[in-house]
Amino acid sequence: MLLDNLSLFLRIVEKGGMAAAGRELGLSPATVSERLAALEAHYGARLLNRTTRSLSLTDEGRDLVEGAQRLLNEAEDLETRIRLGVNRVAGIIHVHAPVDLGRNKLSGVFDAFLDEHPEVSIDLTLGDGYVDLAGMGADLAIRYGALGDSSLKLRKLADSARIVVASPAYLARCGTPATPDDLLHHNCLLMRFGTDADRFWPFEKDGRKQVLAVRGNRIANDGGLVRKWCVKGHGIARKSQWDIADDLAAGRLIPLLQDYEVAPIPLQVVYPPGQNQPRRVRLLLEALVQAFAEDEQSD
């Protein structure tokens, strides 16, 4: 029962409320309250600050979030090994990834992995914003750029250049920018991360760095939608090379301002600290590293 209550606690944190967690798990509000109270009684500490309008973690609750998923993973891995044997790979893996990358690259990696390990399930959440791995119970998350949470572990998958691109139709209609300053006269399609739109685009040539504030009439927090707008000819976008590799190969998008590209940023898989990752998670991690290594070798 303790493990079930820990799982419920993590779901409450992930969903941001007791009612939402109860609905997802098919539990009544009274049952959710009773089980949370039982968990707090077990640990002798209040885990959540609750009002009619908000819910927040106490210090003890934050500590429990960090360890609860590890305990649940260890318990599931132990049960799997006892039930199926140490050489069988089974169970669920929770993964978070950027929208475009998940659809265009990772889905193929996961298909091959599930074909090889039919007793594994992958629960994939796609989103372009920051996620709290412990809070949402993720085993692995794929992220671009520097790692903000230094407590997490990481494996680099590849370098990822962000490329300024447009469709042939847009360029035929509006012209091709020759320098970054020319973008001031173009419609730029912007990604929004949280509350901030990615409107400051960096460039570099011959050691001279420049950051340009671009503008456009379309902003979205969905990288896939920004890519779709760009392919349809609505404007110029700045996208990761991994998100648009197929579009570039097929000529649906054309790279621009290549002489002004800045150094690529790392694409990496991050995961919570601890040495007791289930075998299925370790195998998926290695499959991801191998898939990106093969792609880089083929370029």
What is the mean pLDDT of each successive set of 10 residues along the chain, which is 299 residues long? 80 82 84 86 84 77 79 72 64 88 89 94 83 71 75 85 95 96 96 82 92 94 91 96 90 96 90 74 92 73
Are the C-beta atoms of residues 69 and 137 closer than 8 Å to each other? Answer: yes
What CATH topology corresponds to 1-84?
Arc Repressor Mutant, subunit A (1.10.10)
With contact defined as beta carbons under 8 Å apart, do 113 and 129 qualify?
no
Residue 219's alpha-carbon distances to 128, 143, 227, in angstroms, are 13, 21, 11
Q: What are φ and ψ of residue 192, in 5° steps?
A: -115, 125
Residues with Cβ within 8 Å of 209's Cβ and at least 6 positions away in sequence, in order, are 202, 203, 262
Q: Residue 198's pLDDT is what? A: 86
| CATH number of 89-155+267-299, picked from 3.40.190.10, 3.40.50.300, 1.10.10.60, 3.40.50.720 | 3.40.190.10
What region, left, alpha or beta, does residue 278 occupy, with left being phi > 0 and alpha being psi -120 to 50 degrees? beta
Q: What are phi and psi of 92, to 5 degrees?
A: -105, 145
Distances from the Cα of 21 to the Cα of 17, 42, 241, 271, angstroms: 6, 20, 37, 24
Residue positions counted in the chain: 299
pLDDT score, position 132: 66
- According to DSSP, residue 299 is labeled -
Q: Tell me the C-alpha distance between 248 and 166, whole Å.
A: 10
Alpha-carbon distance of 208 to 250, in angstroms, equals 32
User: Do the Cβ atoms of 239 and 100 come closer than 8 Å?
Assistant: yes
**Regarding the domain delimited by 162-263, which CATH topology (the fold level of the hierarchy) does it fall under?**
D-Maltodextrin-Binding Protein; domain 2 (3.40.190)
pLDDT for position 134: 60
- Same CATH fold, 162-263 and 89-155+267-299? yes
Per-residue pLDDT at 298:
60
Task: Enumerate the domain spans of the chain.
Answer: 1-84, 89-155+267-299, 162-263
Closest-CA residue to 144 (of 101, 189, 107) = 101
